[in-house]
Structure 1
Amino acid sequence: MYRRTVLGTLAVSFGVVLGGCARSSVDGTVASNETPLVFSHESATQATSAGVRIVIEVTIEHDGTEPITLEERVPRITCAFLNDSGETLYQSGRKLVDPIEVGDTTTMEFSLAVNVDDVTRYELRSKWADE
């Protein structure tokens, strides 16, 4: 009896984990970029104890000619999570917090843990923010 309970619990747990990871990623693009930053990005779907979340990992490279010191203008990067019809389900943004020299890279992460099943793609945008 004990053995069946353990095996049943393991089978259900394994099914939940696989069900939460059925879609391993969503597609994304850089929709607009007003800055000298270049973006590479990838997404992953992760199972958590509370359900599933989508994580967008962004690597940012400064491809301009002058360092970004953050004294005058600050880049703001946003990530919008969209559904099939292009409706924004959630959007978050972050400003660069450290200066970045020409040729240097930094990373950012955006995540979503609600309405995950409705997300079909994401869009990144970069613009100059007023300080």
Structure 2
Amino acid sequence: MHRRAVLGTLAAGCGTLFAGCSGSRVDGEVVANETPLAFSHEYATQATYSGTRVVVEVTAENDGHEPITPKESVPNVVCTFLDATGETLHQSGLKLTQFIGVGETITLEFTLAVDVDDVTRYELRSEWLEA
């Protein structure tokens, strides 16, 4: 009897973890890039105890001929989460102030924790900002 209770608890826990994970597909693209960073990106839908969230993981490689240093200008990478009508649900940016050598990569993460059921796409932009 104890074994069934444990299995039932495990099944309920797995159901909670995967709840919302089979939602609609979220498409993403880099819509603007003024920097020498080359991007690859993917998203995941994650269930948490407080709800579901969408996480976009971005890998950025310095594909230029010089290192990126925080002396004058630095890349600012922005992720905008959009609904089916193109309305912005959330937008956040990361100002990259660390040294990034030629050929080096960094990993960035953007999270949407509200309006998760409404998100259908995300857009990435990278532009130069004063350091």
- TM-score of the two chains, using structure 1 as the length reference: 0.87
Unpaired runs of 5+ residues, structure 2, are none
Q: 1:9 to 1:102 in 2, by over 3 A?
A: closer
For 1:63 and 1:107, the matched residues in 2 are separated by: 15
Deviation (angstroms), 1:17: 3.7
What amino acid is aligned across from residue 71 of structure 1 in structure 2? K
2:29 counterpart residue number:
29
Aligned to 1:81: 81
The separation in 2 between residues aligned to 1:30 and 1:111, in whole angstroms, is 16
Say what the alpha-carbon RMSD is for the aligned residues.
Answer: 2.3
Task: Give, in angstroms, the shift of residue 97 of structure 1.
Answer: 2.5
User: Aligned residue for 2:95?
Assistant: 95
One-letter code of the match for 2:91?
Q
- Note the C-alpha offset of 1:23: 2.5
- Offset, 1:27: 1.3
Q: How many residue pairs are counted as aligned between the two chains?
A: 131
Alignment partners' CA distance in 1, 2:69 and 2:6? 58
Paired residue type of 2:129: A
Aligned residues: percent identity?
Answer: 62
Extract unaligned runs of 5+ from structure 1.
none
1:21 positional shift: 1.1
| CA drift at 1:11 | 6.0
Distance in 2, Cα, partners of 1:126 & 1:3: 53
When the two structures are superposed, what TM-score results if normalisation uses the length of structure 2?
Answer: 0.87
**Aligned-partner residue type, residue 113 of structure 1:** A
